[in-house]
Structure 1
Amino acid sequence: MNETLGRGYARIEAIRAARGEPLAAMADPGAPPPDRYNSVYFTLFVAGAAFLLPFNSFIMAVDYFQHEFPDTTIMFDMSTVYIASACVAVVTNNLLLDLFTYNTRITFGILVSLATMLFVAVCNIGWDGFSMRVSYTINLVAIGVVAFGCTVQQASYYGFTGCLPPRYTQAVMAGESAAGFWVSLDRIVTKYSFRQPHSSTFMFFVFSILILLGHSMLHHVMMRHPLVQHYLKLTNESRHRKRIQLHLNPNEDVTLMESEVGESSYGVLKLQSPALSTTAETENKAFSFANPLYSPTAAAPVSPPCVSEPSACPSALLTPRPSYKVEDVVFDTPERPTSWRAFKCGVLARWAVARAIYPYMVSIGLVYFTTLSLYPGIASEVPSCRLGSWMPIILMSAFNLFDFIGKIAAAWPYEWSRSQLLMASGVRLLLVPLMLLCAAPRHSPHIVGDIYPIMFSIVLGFSNGLFGSVPMIMAPSRVGREHREIAGNMMTLSYNGGLLSGSLVSYLLLSMLGAPAGAPCRVYPTPQLPTIPPITTTTSNHTFFTVSH
């Protein structure tokens, strides 16, 4: 009994019946509206591509930035600034979760990303009127601002799709990989079509901006879709559960009688009218807790005087009295402010969700820690005498293509266990030394050849797509519907923690490469097959040569 009184909410079950509304209005929602032509899925796929498109656009312009800022750590600096700003955005989004709607947060992120991309494309790349130092700083500031806007979108979308069926979370993650695949193709086409680095990079950014504009329009259409409205309504009702709080002071002597019909955790609260109160009822403080058979649709009993003389009854008694099915009772503690209580409840809810999904949080953090340790920093430093400036573009394109394939493979109906996900995330750490040996030391890498780093990049991309998607898809289903948005945001927080730690480790790996390569590029010719020297046989008049192959 004390445990029941100590929890915290009371659910309204019959308020619509008390208002005289038809019983059909109280029916549980039926099947969700169909997603005709997969329009919601497609929009979320485009959304996943759109909020990672700015970051991928900066990274895939690696040849332009290395040409403009030679002998600098521009790729490492942009990656670290992006991830640091993204972590700030994730924390901010979690704190402001209940103050702004999905639509407000996502629209804010879209506008910030669009404005920054336009400024960089027009002023810093197209016009190119700044000095090298100022341009370097502008790029870092721009990618930090883009990171904030894009991550607000990303965290909001993952919280949003956590309220939808799991296939829609997979759509967002597949769209993230599609962003990398799209910018890879876009960069190859623009670099091949425009010989001037400024012209090709400017057109490259223009195409990315057009995708962002299309995403903005699709998003606002999707938010009005009946399927989306259906699941958002379910989530809001699960979160609030049509509940009211019964604020009872600790000195009030009330009892919640246990059920005698098999529902020991519920009672029925009936509010008695003061007009009919007798002396005995007044002594009971007008609150009556009882638990006979709970029936929300049953009419309230009418007292005998009202049956004989209806005109003697107050008009308020001509409508059914509300009955409330009680789950929990709240004790009012006036000395504690409501705002602090709400903050404390939010922290406790996030802690409870983190305890429920921590294996998935650790798994996705390890996956992105490994990825950011190598991509894009170390991948952009792998040398190739044969491919030249195309080598980093090919490595990143291979990563993005197989990352896309891996995220599609994540939709395969296989139930991954928590131990399998953790083991797979740990095994991926072996890729760090393997890829590092393809670039270190700069003057003579230990692993020679173009095919090996491409193979490692393919494995890195596919495993990133698969094991970076499965935990994000599975985690929201491990908590109640009312906590799924929190689960999505907690997973995004862990995801960004892995990104930040991986980008910081990439600086340590960079120091292992040695000084920038000023020596001429080494060519590794195919060695000749070993041969056996000829055997000479001498006779008295002739010398014979026997050659062995």
Structure 2
Amino acid sequence: MNETLGRGYARIDAIRAARGEPPASGSDPAGPPPDRYNSVYITLFVAGAAFLLPFNSFIMAVDYFQHHYPNSTIMFDMSTVYIASACVAVVVNNLVLDIFSNNTRITFGILVSLSTMLFVAVCNIGWDGFSPRASYTITLVAIGVVAVGCTVQQASYYGFTGSLPPRYTQAVMVGESAAGFWVSIDRILTKYTFKQPRRSTFMFFVFSILILLGHSMLHHMMMRHPLVLHYLRLTRESRHKRRILLHLNPSQDNAVESQDGESSYGVLKLQSPAPSSGLGDAETKTFGFSNPVYSPTSSAPAQPPATPPLDAEDSPGVLRTPRPSYKVEDVVHPTERHASWSAFKRGVAARWMVGRAIYPYMVSIGLVYFTTLSLYPGIASEVPSCRLGTWMPIVLMSAFNFFDFVGKIAVAYPYEWSRSQLLMASGVRLLLVPLMLLCAAPRHSPHIVGDEYPIFFSVVLGFSNGLFGSVPMIMAPSRVSREHREIAGNMMTLSYNGGLLSGSLVSYLLLGILGPPTEPPCRVYPTPPLPTIPTTSTTLASNVTQMILSMH
């Protein structure tokens, strides 16, 4: 306390303790409210599925789009348009991070995604009144708009869950994989049930829209949950705490200066009582309950009793030298300043500092999704099969989505991944690019023949994507302070989208290696000639047969 008073600072929590008030809300000794029935976890799981559901719905309708737009690069175009729009959206989301709240940005993303999916399902698939060229353009524009809504949700949710315990970030990432797994099952069922391609695709989109509606209701219920409100309050308080510089001049009690810091402080007033002795000092040293007295030599604030004790020093006849005492005169809360150039520079500096702390995780997740988007969905949709035909891309994508889901569940296994391990694993995954490419190139005669090889590569690609695409996203926010966790979540999403964009661009180069589309190279192997019976043997057998018949 001596050092604190020497600098002219007094902690507000010490003042509250002296007054008998509960501690500040930032330090809650009782802990966070319980997540009864795991309702917050389940809602974030559904949210992770919902903001990737539109993209997965477009991709899993690969058979319809390839049939509707023959001899086109529709799968590559949809992937690239989605990722490019997503990168723009995540940059804009980082810029408006301090302008709009998380709830506002998420609600905006839900409305954009839902309205676009409704338009595509009703007008472009159900009605289908546009020309093929116009329909192709509408499909690409729609997926670009959907990307904006989905990415705003995704970046906002990762920033939001950065303020919660790590298990809730894992809930979002498992939900992302569940989106691919769900649309895979949905597409198989609708394709098998409805033989007409347009009708099956329309029902496929309808089921996705119903999930988006359910997610919208669950989200707004979750934002009123006590657990969510608790952690949002902690994050808000840690971000807006200020330090108040106090001038210990009694004539300038109101002269205070606000600085960045970690604690709140109050204005002190220096009082120098006149020298006296005996019980007469009680009136001078007794202050109101709202203004606790601080002694320069005490180690903790204390409320002085109304009647001072009589001891050896306070007994009559003993001369005591008066000492100045301090009391809290006022508590000043600094006001928020409007956005300015200095605030923008502070935001850039904060992002640079966070980036330096988490750059291994940013590189790792960028490499993981670079490899994935180089192969999925573009090259995976080009692998031919004579036995499966149009079912082959659906099988490969379903295998990827299912094991991606398994990989994200495997993240719950208690293993501490180091930064070097994550970087090495994401680098080794690059070997899957030439392996999968050899299953489709060249088109007239792929080097790796057989349906089991591309399915196995899709399984490995999906599992590693789920595992090593989740661990960096979960670990990165824990490497920075609480007030910077939302920034860390958004920067990880930026790196994630950078890997997606670069991978989708590389997929065009791989498409050039494949060459122009051709019919599936179904090889017809000649049947070997059967062994023939010599002529003499045939004659002998016929004679024996005639003799047997004549005997009868």
Normalising TM by the smaller chain, what interval? Answer: 0.7 to 0.9
Report the alpha carbon displacement of residue 386 of structure 1 after superposing the two structures with TM. 0.8
CA 294–455 in structure 1, closer or farther in 2 if over 3 Å, else same: same
Decide whether the 8 Å contact of 1:299 with 1:320 is kept in 2.
no
Distance, in Å, in 2 between the alignment partners of 1:89 and 1:492 is 11
Decide whether the 8 Å contact of 1:80 with 1:504 is kept in 2.
yes
Decide whether the 8 Å contact of 2:370 with 2:502 is kept in 1.
yes
Verify: 1:378 aligned to 2:379, yes or no. yes
Aligned to 1:360: 361
Secondary structure class of the residue paired with 1:23:
coil
Aligned to 2:269: 272
Query: Unaligned stretches of 5+ in structure 2?
Result: 248-261, 274-293, 307-324, 529-552
Verify: 1:13 aligned to 2:12, yes or no. yes
Q: CA RMSD in A?
A: 3.2
Aligned to 2:329: 321
Decide whether the 8 Å contact of 2:362 with 2:495 is kept in 1.
yes
Deviations 1:85-142 (A, max 9, x none): 0001100110000111111000000000000000000000000000000000000000
Distance, in Å, in 2 between the alignment partners of 1:140 and 1:298 is 71
Distance, in Å, in 1 between the alignment partners of 2:237 and 2:45 is 27
Distance, in Å, in 2 between the alignment partners of 1:53 and 1:12 is 50
Deviations 1:394-447 (A, max 9, x none): 000000000000000011110000000000000000000000000001111000
Secondary structure class of the residue paired with 1:321:
strand
Letter in 1 for 2:436: M
Deviations 1:256-293 (A, max 9, x none): xxxxxxxxx999874438999xxxxxxxxxxxx99755
Distance, in Å, in 1 between the alignment partners of 2:339 and 2:211 is 44
Deviations 1:14-63 (A, max 9, x none): 59749x97512537312111111111100000000000000000000000
Verify: 1:410 aligned to 2:411, yes or no. yes
Aligned to 1:508: 509
Aligned to 2:237: 237
Q: TM-score, normalised by structure 1?
A: 0.79
Q: Which has the higher contact order (CA 8 A, sep 6+)?
A: 1
Aligned ranges 1:481-500 → 2 under 5 Å: 481-500=482-501
Aligned to 1:88: 88
Query: Unaligned stretches of 5+ in structure 1?
Result: 5-9, 249-264, 277-288, 302-316, 330-335, 529-549
Distance, in Å, in 2 between the alignment partners of 1:460 and 1:247 is 60
CA 293–516 in structure 1, closer or farther in 2 if over 3 Å, else same: farther
Aligned to 1:469: 470
Distance, in Å, in 2 between the alignment partners of 1:527 and 1:293 is 102
Aligned ranges 1:310-349 → 2 under 5 Å: 320-322=328-330, 339-349=340-350
Decide whether the 8 Å contact of 2:246 with 2:268 is kept in 1.
no
Distance, in Å, in 1 between the alignment partners of 2:10 and 2:81 is 47
CA 13–66 in structure 1, closer or farther in 2 if over 3 Å, else same: same
Aligned to 1:304: none
Aligned ranges 1:257-268 → 2 under 5 Å: none
Secondary structure class of the residue paired with 1:427:
helix
Verify: 1:211 aligned to 2:211, yes or no. yes
Letter in 1 for 2:437: L
Verify: 1:26 aligned to 2:34, yes or no. no
Distance, in Å, in 1 between the alignment partners of 2:99 and 2:397 is 39
Aligned to 1:173: 173
Verify: 1:67 aligned to 2:64, yes or no. no
Question: Alignment identity in percent?
Answer: 75
Secondary structure class of the residue paired with 1:178:
helix
Report the alpha carbon displacement of residue 149 of structure 1 after superposing the two structures with TM. 0.3
Q: TM-score, normalised by structure 2?
A: 0.79
Report the alpha carbon displacement of residue 340 of structure 1 after superposing the two structures with TM. 1.2
Distance, in Å, in 1 between the alignment partners of 2:234 and 2:85 is 33
Letter in 2 for 1:272: K
Deviations 1:188-229 (A, max 9, x none): 000000011100000000000000000000000011111111
Secondary structure class of the residue paired with 1:272:
strand
Aligned to 1:76: 76
Aligned residues: 466
Distance, in Å, in 1 between the alignment partners of 2:503 and 2:484 is 29
Distance, in Å, in 1 between the alignment partners of 2:33 and 2:526 is 63
Distance, in Å, in 2 between the alignment partners of 1:427 and 1:147 is 29
